[in-house]
Each structure stands twice: as C-alpha cells, then as structure tokens.
Amino acid sequence: MTHILVTGGAGFIGAHTCKALALMGYQPVVLDNLSTGYRDFVQWGPLVQADIADTTAVAATITQYGITAMMHFAGSIVVPDSVRDPLTYYDNNISKSVRLIQTAVDHGVQNIVFSSSAAVYGMPDVARIPVHTPLNPISPYGYNKAVIERLLSDLSTARPDVRALSLRYFNAAGSDPDGQVGESHVPETHLIPLALDALSKKRAALTVFGRDYPTPDGTCIRDYIHVSDLAMAHVQGLRYLAKGGASQILNLGIGQGFSILEVLRTIETVCQMPVPFVWGLRREGDPARLVADADASRRILDWTPVHTSLDKIVADAWAWRRA
C-alpha cells in the first residue's frame, strides 16, 4: 500500500482528504501537532504528533513508511489574525513550511500537493477568477500562501524529480456526508457553521458585515465547494503527479457564487428555522465577489465535483453540527 504523508491531517480539510485517500486505496500518515486539529479526526491511518518544523520527526516518518508523496495542509488560517500577528503567521506558514519541504525532498519525497488559497488574488474585479489572474494578496495569510506557491514552482524547476501541485481553494464548506468528520474550528470564522450555531442558539446572532456591496442584494458573493469534493480533488491531484504530470497551480471551486443572504435563506429552508443576524459595517479587505474559474482543474485532474448544490452543503454541515 502506498503511504502518503498528510501534514495537518487532523484538521478540517486534511481529515476529509485522509478519508478520500483511504477510499482510493492509499494509506494516509498524519503528521499534526494537534494545536488546532483533533485526535478523533485521525481515523484512516497512523498519527505522528509532531510539528512540521521538527525535522527529525519528519525525516523519521518519511523513512519509516517509505513515503514519496506529501500533502501539506498544516498552517495558520485565520486572515484577521494574520494581520494582528504577522510574525506567527510568517513563522508557521513560511519558515516552518520551508523546513518541512527541505526535509521532505532530502528524504525522497517527489510529489507534493499544497493547500493554497484564493486569498493570493486579493480583490480582483472579475466575474470568475482564472488562475492566471495577477496575484495581489492583501493579508499576511494570502502572502504566505503565495510565497510557498513560488517556492514549490522554483523547486520543481531546479529539481526536475520534484513535482508540485498548488491548489487554490475558494470557500470550503459542508461536512462528510457519512458524519465521520466535520467542520470544527476554534475560533470558528466560516459563515455556514457560524450561522448554524446562531440558529441553534449556541452563539449570539450572526453579524453580516456590509450590505452595500455592488452585488444584487448588497452582500458579498462567494464560491462554496463541498469539502468532500475538495478532498477528492487532492486525491486526483496526487494521481496526476504520480503519472508524471507537470507541476501546476489550479483553482478549486464550483464556478458559481452565492451571496450571504442567499446562503442564509438556504439554511433557513434546509433547517426550517430562522437565522438570527444583525448588520455590521464592511470589513476591510472583503472583496465583493470571489468566484473561481476552475475549468482547468476539472480537465487536468479528471475531477468532477458531485456535491454541487448549496442545499447539500448546508444539509451535511447541519447534520454534523447537530450530531
């Protein structure tokens, strides 16, 4: 069985990807310091509890399991926190990633799938964002992702034996349809779980930031992709690289946008309860619209998302939240 190193595999997207790997016949080996991940999310392979900057642990894990491919999810992800505390973000997302990647390639890892973000684009003024859109990150988090993308690109040029796939997520949402893992962040910052918690009175009313954007209903529009589809795209990406595919940077999204009010109305329909919310001022740096042009991902990775309805995304998130 082929073993795959999955850094951050105890987190939201990492855990879902571990399940997808196992379903496709791979053995995920999770390396996670559990600072934000959950031991209970590691269900499909061994857990090595260590930091990605622990080069001894990384090297030993790669050697023990004969690993030649890695998926790198580990890192700090809260955009406002990156603005308040850039030193931590530059350390966790750049410095530690460099040490991880250096150790990995020095010990025989040849294929790397990297968890990137649409935050690298900043605030582009286009209906659907193609991957060749100029980068203009407006937060330390977005810049961190752009730096590691560039590192992997430069590395694959310098080392033809190393191939890398950087996947720029738009809005990951939903939860495993089987209920084995789900979305649970501390603190929670994503719209759908925040709205569900407000609906079930686990927190105060949701704040909707801004209602004067140049969109049909005045609220921000985002491209929501089911986390299980996102996970499968990673597996397809790994298979693409294993077949000798060239290094790539790709978008992952559905290509359709929904406004905040549309999401709230869908939640109310699925859950048959109103979502309590209040209006707030715009947040600095929130683009009016972020929708992916992900046609290249479908073609290059031979990937077709299957959970494409917003109703399905909400229903799976709600089932996990209730459980």
Tens digits of per-residue pLDDT, 17-59?
999 999 999 999 999 999 999 999 999 999 999 999 999 999 9
pLDDT score at 1: 82
State mean pLDDT over 194-204: 93
**Distance of alpha carbon 98 from alpha carbon 104, whole angstroms:** 10
Residue with tokens 């795209």: 233
- Is residue 15's pLDDT more than 90? yes
State mean pLDDT over 211-226: 97
State mean pLDDT over 234-243: 98
- Is residue 285's pLDDT more than 90? no
Tens digits of per-residue pLDDT, 129-150?
999 999 999 999 999 999 999 9
- Is residue 213's pLDDT more than 90? yes
Say what percent of the chain tops pLDDT 70. 100
- Is residue 189's pLDDT more than 90? no
pLDDT score at 175: 97
- Is residue 283's pLDDT more than 90? no
Domains of the chain (ranges; CATH) run 3-173+224-252 (3.40.50.720), 191-223+255-322 (3.90.25.10)
Does the annotation count 224 as an active-site position? no
State mean pLDDT over 246-262: 97
Q: How many CB atoms lie within 10 A of CB 14?
A: 27
**Distance of alpha carbon 232 from alpha carbon 227, whole angstroms:** 9
What is the maximal distance between C-alpha atoms in the chain? 56
Selected catalytic residue, list 141, 169, 213, 224: 141
Query: Mean pLDDT of all residues in the chain?
Result: 96
pLDDT score at 119: 96
Q: What token pair was written down for 23?
A: 């379903």
State mean pLDDT over 93-110: 98
pLDDT score at 286: 86
